[in-house]
Amino acid sequence: MRNVTKAMSQMNKRINLPGIQKIMTDFQKESQVMDMKEEIMNDVMDDAMAGEDDEAESDEIVQQVLDEIGVNLDQSVST
């Protein structure tokens, strides 16, 4: 038991607790920054993907308007 106490005492002297705490604090800050960046990227991607849905909806509305006025874009123009 005496050797264990001596070994633990020596380890406590060698461990730089303030240094480890600073590293952990820095890691926590960087982790929070990364979480915020990830959230921003997810929002940007969601907005970009929503734009594709808007384009399809716009195409559908244009087609409805063209159908109402009797224009068919698939017909070839005769000269």
More confident residue, 4 or 26: 26
78 domain residue, yes or no: no
Q: Are 66 and 73 in contact (CB under 8 A)?
A: yes
Strand ranges, E, within the chain: none
Give the helix/strand (H/E) hosting 42: helix 17-69
Split into its structural domains, the chain has a count of: 1
- The model's pLDDT over 2-17, given as tens digits with 9 standing for 90+, comes to 888 888 888 888 888 8
pLDDT at 76: 52
31 domain residue, yes or no: yes
Mean pLDDT of 49-78: 73
52 domain residue, yes or no: yes
Tell me the CA distances in angstroms from 20 to 13, 15, 57, 74, one per residue in order. 14, 8, 55, 70
60 domain residue, yes or no: yes
Q: Give residue 56's domain range.
A: 2-67
pLDDT at 64: 86
Q: Are 55 and 61 in contact (CB under 8 A)?
A: no
Dihedral angle of Cα 47, 49, 55, 57, to the nearest 10 degrees: -90
% of residues, the chain, pLDDT over 90: 30
More confident residue, 46 or 75: 46
Is residue 53 scored above 70 in pLDDT?
no
Sign of CA dihedral 50, 56, 57, 59: positive
Mean pLDDT of 43-57: 76
18 domain residue, yes or no: yes
